[in-house]
Amino acid sequence: MNAATSAIVPPRRIWWLAGGFGVWCLALSVLYALHAVGCAFGWPTAVLRWSLVIVFIAHLLVIGWMWLKFARQTPNADAGKTGSFLQDVIVWSTIVAFASAVLALGPPLLLTTCI
Amino acid sequence: MSGPVSSQPEGAHALRLHRQLNRIWATGPGWQRLAAVNHSVIGKRMFLTSFTFFLIAGVLGMLTRVQLATPHSGFLDPETYNQVFTVHGSMMLFLFAIPMVESFAVYLTPKILGTRDFAFPRLTAYGYWCYLFGASIITVSLVLGIAPNGGWFMYTPLSSNVYSPGVNADIWLLGITFVEISALSLAVEITVSILKMRAPGMSLDRMPIFGWYILVTALMMIVAFPPLILGSILLELERAFGMPFFDPTRGGDSLLWQHLFWLFGHPDVYIIFLPMAGVLSTMIPVFANRQLVGYRAIVVAIIALAFLSFGIWVHHMFTVGIPHLALAFFSAGSAIVAVPTAVQVFAWLATLSHGKPRWGVPMLYIFGFFFIFAMGGLTGVMLAMVPFDWQAHDTYFVVAHMHYVVAGALAFPMMAAIYYWLPLVTGRTAVHRLAVPAFWLIFIGFNMTFFLMHLTGLLGMPRRVYTYRGDEGWNWLNLLSSVGGFVMTIGFGLLLIDLVVQLRFGRRVRRDPWKAATFEWAMALPPASYAFASIPHAGPQTDSVPRGELALSLARGEGYLGFARNGWQETLGVHITSGKPDQVIVLPNPTYLPLVTAIVTGGVVLGFLFKAYWLSLVLALVTFGLFVHAGSRAGLSRDHGPLPVGLGVEVPPHTEVASTPSYLAMICALFANGTLFTSLIFGTFYLWLAGGDWQKMTPPTPSWSLAFGAIVSLVIAAVSTRGSLKVVAASGKASAWMGLTAIALIAAVAAIVQMILGVTPSPREHALGATASVLLGYVAFHAGAGLLFLFSNFQRVRNGYISQRRSSDLRLTQLWVGYTLVTGIIAVGLVLALPSLVTVLGARP
């Protein structure tokens, strides 16, 4: 029965529901802080922009890696519906986090840096 | 509470079982009602209290509309108008909206998830009393004419001492913080209960969607409230002791307040919306006669919405001068947050279109929700665009948008929910004669009031003005808005009458009147104090059983724990993901302690308000003492081993397992605490970068030896808590280890206090010193609180509540001291780094 078989899904697994978006939050915080520091200290435009781009890509790579990792994982058959449910929600949350990062954090990097 | 365990479960007959359980669970009559800890009682009280504040705030809103109906109105003088609109906004958001959604969560969540109560009933009661007292302070201040008058988001420097020298702003800061303690305690309570106290078999994939909504909302509250609590503490420190965190002339920055406020304020919109979306996701399938479409997509959308809502706080600050590139992050984020919202809206529409919808009064209000919320969402996307926001900022367009979102997100689903669940609460069905005209009056009046405000705003009328000249072209719009306000008020009056009529004359309802699928209908109407006479199993075998039939079976004791044992208030704890039963949770009985503790906490607040700081300090210590006292005899005083819980299952009591609810609660509390600490670190760096004259100050020279001593002491404390646990696990006595922990914590506090006394520049002189003091004060406070944990541990060891099997107290202490060590290293390290950071500022152009 479902309840009996899904006992093997460890509670720590649910932390991954927040994994992709956790990295998204970190990316936003780091980008916002780095931009503020760069503008306050008068960094050259190119240095500031490339710093932001590198930070952005680094976070994107982490979320992308998480996406691939979770998508390749096959839910343990013993985990039953609970395992497959959590697997689906984790994968899709990560995909949505990736898309959110691309849409919300990427295009602004093309704008004038410190006006 | 302790005693011999009966070997045989007592009676199975429904009536006898009811009497037995009711004797254990019921709240006593008369004054004993003040000792209530039952979630049904507290949930109803919270609902009635928040609804009362809704009515008061509504009257205040009407007063503003009377004032603005015509130009040059003398109905309210400027000062009274300021107090009225400030309390209207604060009351609607803090004293109505959040407590209202909490009241739904408190009353409904255990029933929908198939359990008897929350994990920490005394905390529920304490939260309610804190809410009531905090809200009462604000309400009384209005009657006395000393209410907050700086707007519901209390911006600095307007709310600083220079511009608000009276107690008005203090009342807001202290009253609202008091209410937030309540919200946070309930959020921890709800999170733990949803994760650990569902019906057996209710794995996460089988959890009703309402549970997911409330779980995510509670987690959001745990993260969202601490930044505002920190902001309120810092502003009160500035107002009371002159520490200039927000004063730009002394190294502070008023925009820090805006950041801290909106870090809470924007997620708060979703904290209000998500539970109501949960309500809609529960009701719509019932009226559509089919399952909810897109359960998994909705869970993903809820998670996305929760996170995105935290990443867009700056869209309330588009006009403060932040560079365009940074604004674009928040503008884009504010636009895409509409997507997960839309996923839910389309899932509801798909459920309706693929089902066989039936009409009912709740559906009427759901229709109202769709219309109003879509309008509010669209104007939200407009305001997310920076150029448009610059035009509309601080005009009535924003007022209109906000009311469409909040009314759409909260008021209409709330009214739908009231009509849907009132039969559950009262046991009576609606008469419905007044509900329909009430709806149309509210709907028409609402749109008349607030749609026109979009136009008033676009014509340039700023918000918060108490009057206007009359030649701006706003006259007819304002007059019609005010008329609309009265139409809406008449509608709410009818609604109120309808509810009273239903309570008094409604027909007795049969079980499961809506043919729903959730567990709250599988019980007597209105519910008994214990909710379920026996706890249902969630699974295929119960899915297809009509809830009315299931109610009878459960009443006969055919589920789990269908008996009374030792006078214990028993319910089941389950494995977080699978829902497999793993412990019997024995809940505390009714007690006056939550009320007494809340009264003393109220004394702390009032002491601050009347500048009696020593009294506040003493009462704060008494409050902590009461918490320790409350914990001194909690749990079971001897080992029991596995206990039968019915249906052939045996599990140990919660005191003898590792995954005890209190451990999870501590993790949640530390998460909230960590958010507050992170906000403090953010504030430090923000002021370092934006505060005035930091580089001109003589760099502080913190003592490295004291810092080293403090950290070494904290390391010893953390290691010795581990030692205590190991000794107890080996059936030994941990007194020596606990004593070592206490000495180490005292040493840490002493070292940190010495560091605070040596902080330069003086905390009153410049934000640099104030920030360093608060960082160190945070560590000292936590080390001091660690001593309280130890005191409690000593007491409980002496009273026999800690043993080899029952060691969760020591694990909680270990968690707390470990957290203190980690945050201590960061805070002390940052204070040591401040001289270098200040020097670096010299490199700025």
In angstroms, what separates the C-alpha of B337 from chain A's closest C-alpha? 9
End-to-end Cα separation, chain B, in angstroms = 69
A48 touches chain B (CB under 8 A): no
Cα B681 to its chain centre, rounded Å, is: 23
Task: Please say if the pLDDT value at position B233 is more than 80.
Answer: yes
B336 touches chain A (CB under 8 A): yes
Question: What is the tens place of the pLDDT at every residue in A36-79?
Answer: 999 999 999 999 999 999 999 999 999 999 999 999 988 777 77
Distances from the Cα of B776 to the Cαs of B569, B674, B680, B816, B818, in angstroms? 43, 15, 11, 17, 17
| H-type alpha helices, B337-360 | 338-354
B685-B686-B689 Cα angle (round to 5): 85
A93 touches chain B (CB under 8 A): yes
Distance CA B441, CA B415 (A): 13
Which residue's structure tokens are 């490295």? B704
DSSP at B94: I
3-state secondary structure B510-528: CCCCCCCCCHHHCCCCCCC
ipTM for this model = 0.95
Mean pLDDT across the stretch B421-448? 90
DSSP at B199: P
| Calculated CA dihedral for residues B91, B95, B96, B100, nearest 10 degrees | 170
In angstroms, what separates the C-alpha of A115 from chain B's closest C-alpha? 5
In angstroms, what separates the C-alpha of B511 from chain A's closest C-alpha? 28
Mean residue pLDDT of chain B comes to 93
Which residue's structure tokens are 């009315």? B548
Which chain A residues are within 8 Å of B336, Cβ to Cβ?
A: 100, 103-104
Q: What pLDDT was estimated at residue B11?
A: 44
Specify the 3-state DSSP secondary structure of B579. Answer: coil
- 8 Å CB contact of A35 and B323: yes
* Nearest residue on chain A to B309, alpha-carbon basis: A25
Q: What pLDDT was estimated at residue B505?
A: 85
- 8 Å CB contact of B203 and A6: yes
The sign of the dihedral angle between the CA atoms of B785, B791, B793, B796 is negative
φ/ψ (deg, to 5) at B586:
-100, 115
B299 touches chain A (CB under 8 A): yes
- 8 Å CB contact of A41 and B844: yes
Mean pLDDT across the stretch B512-518? 91
- CA-only gyration radius of chain B, Å: 27
The residue type found at B351 is T
Q: What pLDDT was estimated at residue B12?
A: 55
- 8 Å CB contact of B689 and A17: no
A-proximal residues of B, 567-606, CB under 8 Å: 575-580
Burial of B580 per CB tally in 10 Å (0-12, 13-18, 19+):
buried
Distance CA B101, CA B183 (A): 10
- 8 Å CB contact of A93 and B201: no
* Nearest residue on chain B to A82, alpha-carbon basis: B205
A1 touches chain B (CB under 8 A): yes
Task: Please say if the pLDDT value at position B5 is more than 80.
Answer: no
**Model's pTM, two decimal places?**
0.95
Distance CA B171, CA B358 (A): 48
For chain A, percent of residues with pLDDT exceeding 90: 83
A114 touches chain B (CB under 8 A): yes
B interface test, pick of A32, A43, A78 with most B CB neighbours within 10 Å: A32
Pairing between β-strand B643-646 and β-strand B569-574 as defined by DSSP bridges: unpaired
B interface test, pick of A1, A6, A102 with most B CB neighbours within 10 Å: A6
Range B681-695 burial, b when 16+ CB lie within 10 A, else e: ebbbebbbbbbbebb
Pairing between β-strand B581-587 and β-strand B569-574 as defined by DSSP bridges: antiparallel
Is residue B774 within 8 Å of B750, Cβ to Cβ?
Answer: no
- φ/ψ region of B92 (left if φ > 0, alpha if ψ in -120 to 50, else beta) reads alpha
Task: Please say if the pLDDT value at position B10 is more than 70.
Answer: no
Which chain A residues are within 8 Å of B270, Cβ to Cβ?
A: none
Of residues B323, B539, B844, nearest to A2 (C-beta): B539
Q: What pLDDT was estimated at residue B307?
A: 97
Distance CA B141, CA B812 (A): 40
Burial of B66 per CB tally in 10 Å (0-12, 13-18, 19+):
middle
Distance CA B199, CA B206 (A): 10
Distance CA A5, CA A25 (A): 35
Range B421-443 burial, b when 16+ CB lie within 10 A, else e: bbbbbbbbbbeeebbeebbebbb
